[in-house]
Amino acid sequence: MASPADDKPRICVGVIAGAHGVHGEARVRAFTDDPFDVAAYGEVETEDGSLRFSMTVIREAKPGVLVVALEGITLSREQVQAMNGTQLYVSRDALPAPEDEDEFYYADLIGLAASYPDGRPLGTVLAVADYGAGDMVDIKLAHSSKTIVVPFTREVVPSVDLKAGRIVVNPPGGLIDDAPEGEVDASAAKGAGAVMTDPTDSTAQTAQTAQTAPASDPPSPWQATILTLFPDMFPGPLGFSLAGRALDQQIWALNTLNIRDFATDKHHSVDDTPAGGGAGMVMRADVVGAALESLGYQGSAKGETAEKAPNPASISAGEKAPNSLPLNAPLLYLSPRGKPLSQSRVKALATGPGVTVLCGRFEGLDERVITHFGIEEVSIGDYVLSGGEPAALVLLDAVIRLLPGVLGAPETLAEESFEDGLLEYPHFTRPAQWQGKPIPDVLTSGHHGRIAEWRQAERERITKERRPDLWRRYMAEEQSGKDE
């Protein structure tokens, strides 16, 4: 079979979001305007072209996510789950032509040269996507290795000329320094003639940047594995904005495992009445334990930390293997009685290979599972939820935003709440006057030293007023530093 690079330009129409049920069906997150159109363009293929199949939509699991049957290929549940995050492509020719001359597919913009209104080269279009606040254009600058993201509006992008292979961009003030005049770099010069494909097509992106950066294997994504009774709750809000973009770019990957699949009775029961009596139900040790063992976790009767048995990073069609997990992935159980989640713990998780999160339901989990596998209990606050899934989303969001490449300006993390023991200072933006309330004069003075002093004073004031516990800790650490 020919490689994708030898074929016609392709469009990414969706991505596999995990397995559904036990019969090899899949959940697919659609990138088409009408999610049901993801299966309307004939055969799809994986990025490397190794698998090609058709899809039949069974139902919509949630907005933008469909449950589909894979036609022309036979895969087990484990094999489908191992394809989580796999992008699905169709030939560009399979899509209908735009009705008007002024209409185009966003994928047609990929690879176009971008220039300032005065004709100076700005860079090359890498992607067009919706990050939660409207469509945005990713542009690799011609005069550096950096990229910028600008709103795809008439004001910022006043002209799109597909025939000329260029767009005109008027970057918002302060976004970048003016680009020096001169020749555009090798990747930008290829814009007009580059293969127009999907923004997430790594083959095309590598071709565009090959002359400015040495080729290297992409880093493994940070792996989040969720054990839950409701896998369709994921990625949920994490499929949007920064986390959704990072998921599409495979900065992180999501694997959901339905605990109910490991029930052994005909009713697929996962809970039972509590020993000793009392209200509610308790999640069964044998069912949850089997789910953890399927991931390779090996427990200890003494309650020592669970060990993770090696598993392959991926499996090929026709093979059968357990669900894959990175080695040494922490195993967490979200519980109101757990240790409070802190920014320092979030940072530690972000620097690791991933995390496995067990979401409880009912009255909780049989204690023997916690001690047998040495599970770390974590709480996101002093309140009770109906299940661990919302808490898991909170934990994952806190970690994902710290992963390299997720935030456009990572230096802003240094001034956020909790980074040095203080809460963050207040923020203001235009208009200068609103409802009779002006922006503080110091912030419009242009005096960076005074602005820094004002912000530090506000951080201390707010922390002292709202979080006396943090303030006491901060003052103790400040005093300890002086004593040293």
- What's the pLDDT tens digit per position in 420-443? 788 988 999 888 899 999 999 998
Q: Which residue has the higher pLDDT, 128 or 39?
A: 39
Nearest to 30 by CA among 357, 192, 248, 183: 248
* Of 13-27, 191-205, 209-223, 377-391, the least confident: 191-205
**Maximum average pLDDT range among 72-81, 147-156, 172-181, 268-277:** 268-277
Q: For residue 290, what pLDDT is reported?
A: 95
89: tokens are 């492509």
Q: For residue 174, what pLDDT is reported?
A: 67
How far, in Å, CA of 108 to CA of 141, rounded?
19
DSSP assignment, residue 407? S
Q: Which residue has the higher pLDDT, 219 or 308?
A: 219
> Has residue 143 got a pLDDT over 50?
yes
Give 431's contacts (C-beta < 8 A, 6+ positions apart). Answer: none
Q: Which band of pLDDT confidence, cut at 50, 70 and 90, is reported for residue 360?
A: very high
Helix (H) / strand (E) element for 60: namely: strand 52-62
- The dihedral over CA atoms of 141, 135, 403, 77, expressed in degrees to the nearest 10, equals -120
- In the block, which residue shows the tokens 């009255």? 363
DSSP assignment, residue 402? T
Q: For residue 7, what pLDDT is reported?
A: 54
DSSP assignment, residue 435? T
> Has residue 384 got a pLDDT over 50?
yes
CA dist 418 → 66, 344, 395, 437, 468 (Å): 39, 9, 15, 28, 13
How far, in Å, CA of 373 to CA of 330, rounded?
11
Q: For residue 322, what pLDDT is reported?
A: 39
The number of beta carbons lying within 10 Å of the beta carbon of residue 277 is 6
Read off the pLDDT of each residue in 411-427 and give the average, rounded to a whole number.
74
Q: Which band of pLDDT confidence, cut at 50, 70 and 90, is reported for residue 323?
A: very low
Asked if 444 and 432 count as a contact pair (C-beta separation under 8 A), the reply is yes
CA dist 230 → 21, 388, 473, 476 (Å): 12, 10, 39, 44
* Of 89-98, 298-307, 417-426, the least confident: 298-307
> Has residue 286 got a pLDDT over 70?
yes
In this structure, whether the domain defined by 422-483 belongs to CATH 1.10.1270.20 is answered with yes
Q: For residue 453, what pLDDT is reported?
A: 92
> Has residue 100 got a pLDDT over 70?
no
406: tokens are 């997720």
Q: Where are the domains of the chain?
A: 4-94, 106-209, 222-400, 422-483
Nearest to 306 by CA among 371, 366, 353: 371
Percent of the chain's residues with pLDDT above 90: 41
Tell me if residue 251 falls in helix, strand or coil: coil
How far, in Å, CA of 391 to CA of 336, rounded?
10
How far, in Å, CA of 123 to CA of 166, rounded?
10
Read off the pLDDT of each residue in 86-112 and give the average, rounded to a whole number.
78
Q: Which residue has the higher pLDDT, 104 or 203?
A: 104
- In the block, which residue shows the tokens 């993390």? 413
Q: Give 201-240 as a DSSP string.
A: -HHHHHHHHTTTS---PPPPPEEEEEEES-GGGSSGGGGS
Instruction: Domain 106-209: give its CATH code.
Output: 2.30.30.240
Paired sense of beta strands 376-379 and 433-434, if any: unpaired
Can you name the CATH fold of 222-400? Alpha/beta knot (3.40.1280)
Q: For residue 138, what pLDDT is reported?
A: 85
Q: For residue 204, what pLDDT is reported?
A: 34
Q: Give 23-46 as a DSSP string.
A: TTEEEEEE-SSSGGGGGSSS-EEE
What values do phi and psi take at 411, rounded to 5? -65, -20
Nearest to 338 by CA among 366, 305, 374, 380: 380
Q: For residue 410, what pLDDT is reported?
A: 57
Q: Which band of pLDDT confidence, cut at 50, 70 and 90, is reported for residue 314?
A: very low
Q: Which residue has the higher pLDDT, 218 or 266?
A: 266
Q: Which residue has the higher pLDDT, 381 or 477?
A: 381
3-class secondary structure for 112-161? CEEECCCCCEEEEEEEEEECCCCEEEEEEECCCCCEEEEECCCCCCCEEE
CA dist 276 → 273, 283, 361, 366 (Å): 9, 15, 19, 13
Read off the pLDDT of each residue in 324-353 and give the average, rounded to a whole number.
88
In this structure, whether the domain defined by 4-94 belongs to CATH 2.40.30.60 is answered with yes
Q: Which band of pLDDT confidence, cut at 50, 70 and 90, is reported for residue 402?
A: very high
Read off the pLDDT of each residue in 206-220 and give the average, rounded to a whole number.
43
Q: Which residue has the higher pLDDT, 64 or 378?
A: 378
Asked if 2 and 36 count as a contact pair (C-beta separation under 8 A), the reply is no
Q: For residue 358, what pLDDT is reported?
A: 98
| Cα-only R_g, the chain | 26
How far, in Å, CA of 301 to CA of 314, rounded?
30
* Of 134-138, 325-329, 347-351, the least confident: 325-329
Q: For residue 150, what pLDDT is reported?
A: 84
Q: For residue 21, what pLDDT is reported?
A: 78
How far, in Å, CA of 146 to CA of 144, rounded?
5
Read off the pLDDT of each residue in 160-168 and give the average, rounded to a whole number.
88
> Has residue 198 got a pLDDT over 70?
no
> Has residue 411 got a pLDDT over 70?
no
Read off the pLDDT of each residue in 294-307 and give the average, rounded to a whole number.
67
Percent of the chain's residues with pLDDT above 70: 78
Average pLDDT, the chain: 80
What values do phi and psi take at 257, rounded to 5? -130, 120
- The dihedral over CA atoms of 223, 224, 230, 233, expressed in degrees to the nearest 10, equals -100
Q: Which band of pLDDT confidence, cut at 50, 70 and 90, is reported for residue 134?
A: low
Q: Which residue has the higher pLDDT, 95 or 74?
A: 74
Read off the pLDDT of each residue in 314-318 and give the average, rounded to a whole number.
29
How far, in Å, CA of 450 to CA of 428, rounded?
16
